[in-house]
Homo-oligomer: A and B are copies of this chain.
Amino acid sequence: MSGIWGNNIKLSIFGESHGKAIGINIDGLEPGIELDLDYINKEMGRRAPGKSKLATSRKEEDSFQILSGYFNGRTTGTPLCAIIYNTNQHSKDYEKTKNLMRPSHGDFTGYIKYKGFNDYRGGGHFSGRITAPLVFAGAVCKQILEKKGIVIGSHIKSIGKLEDKSFNMVDIDEKVLITLRENLFPTIDEKIALKMKDIIIKAREEKDSVGGVIETAVINLPVGIGEPFFDSVESTLAQLLFSIPAVKGVEFGSGFHITELKGSEANDEYYMDGDKVRTYSNNNGGVLGGITNGMPLVFRVAIKPTPSISKVQRTIDIDSGKNREMEIIGRHDPCIVPRALPVVEAAAAIAILDLC
């Protein structure tokens, strides 16, 4: 099982990169919510390929069709299903090399798990393309959260070893988050973006790829969202975030760095700010005991370098069981981080709406 997620909002995802269509069914939405389809299109556009020379030239329309659960411009409260037809696939690219297991892809593990019956074209169900329906669902959830004042924003914290500034975790401005969202390559320090892009372009020229870290913040969350154990805010978010291909690490607040602090440094002491309870620091990233404390929810996600590189790589032929070499031809992103960023935000929106 793999394609069902959630408690209050249930997602059911489906599709393969080169199949007929990909999509998602969302169950549990409130009835009567006006949906801004342009907003959804814009979010889809942030993830869509073909936007710049930093990314793959595969042009996916990513134009969605809502099949159900939407009537007279509003949600009906019954399951909302949307699909995206696949087009512009170069399926034949994959036919010749289907027995060569691309390193660090899901080819080999999928082959074994599904006994060779999985759709291998373009990574099939393992393709990053399957995150498009997640972005659709995220765009729906984000709108609903925004009506409650909850805002999500992200920036590229690092590309390779080059780092952007961090969010000031105790005080994050809504305008900053919204400005970041307008940018297809968002950084807090605008100058760093150019240098990061240089790194990516250089990687492409070298037939190589690079990874990076995405830092996301969610502000204006009420106190009391989440659960003490298995449905903690961190558990819920992490489960969704680690389902995004290429994610290899997730941390909240000061994350791994908190382990280098003393308790007296790490503890977020409370004070009354008028009627509101706040903390002087936010090393816990807005979550205590699995539950939001009203401070900004901040987390970071590690995205590995795109595994599809044009350099020669050693691999095996799964049919003959022999060692081989391969070059991955095709249209690939030298860095998936900018396109993964809206997916990370979508996961956050879905997770938080589910917990609300």
The CA-CA distance from A223 to B106 in the complex, in Å, is: 12
- Does residue A143 face the partner (Cβ distance < 8 Å to B)? no
Bound CA–CA A161/B265 (angstroms): 14
The digit string for A21-37, where 1 denotes a CB below 8 A from any CB of B, is 11101011001100000
Q: Mark A109-128, 1 if CB is under 8 A from B, else 0.
A: 11011111111000011100
Of the listed stretches A43-51, A147-155, A175-183, A289-297, chain B binds A289-297
> Cβ of B250 and Cβ of A113 under 8 Å apart?
no
Are A106 and B1 touching (Cβ within 8 A)?
A: no
User: Within 8 Å CB of A245, what residues of B?
Assistant: 289
For A168, what are the chain B residues with a Cβ–Cβ distance below 8 Å?
Answer: none
Among B23, B247, B267, which residue has its beta carbon within 8 angstroms of that of A104? B267
Q: Which of A91-148 contact B (CB under 8 A)?
A: 101, 103-110, 112-119, 124-126, 130
- Compute how far the CA of A241 lies from the CA of B67 in the bound complex, rounded to whole angstroms: 25
| Residues in B neighbouring A248, C-beta threshold 8 A | 234, 251-256, 258-259, 284-285
The reply to whether the CB of A52 lies closer than 8 angstroms to some CB of chain B is no
| Contact code string A58-73 (vs B, CB < 8 Å = 1, else 0) | 0000000111111110
Q: How far is the CA of A81 from the CA of B106 in the complex (A)?
A: 21
Say yes or no: B279 contacts A103, CB within 8 Å: yes
On whether the beta carbons of B106 and A264 are closer than 8 Å, the reply is no
Is A288 in contact with B109, judged by CB distance below 8 angstroms?
A: yes
Please indicate the chain B residues that have their CB under 8 angstroms from the CB of A267 in the complex: 103-104, 305, 307, 309, 313
- A327 nearest CB across to chain B (Å): 12
A2 at the interface (CB under 8 A from B): yes
Contact indicator B230/A306 (Cβ below 8 Å): no
Alpha-carbon distance A25/B15, docked complex (angstroms): 10
Give complex CA distance A252, B117 in Å. 28
Residue of B nearest to A230 (CB): B5
**B20 and A109 within 8 A (CB):** no
B78 touches A213 (CB 8 A): no
Interchain CB contact under 8 A, B10 and A12: yes
Using A15-B79, A15-B81 as known contacts, list a sample of 16 further A-B pairs with CB atoms less than 8 Å apart, ordered by residue number in A: A3-B27, A14-B67, A14-B81, A31-B118, A32-B116, A78-B125, A106-B228, A106-B289, A109-B288, A125-B228, A235-B240, A236-B239, A258-B304, A261-B305, A267-B313, A272-B321
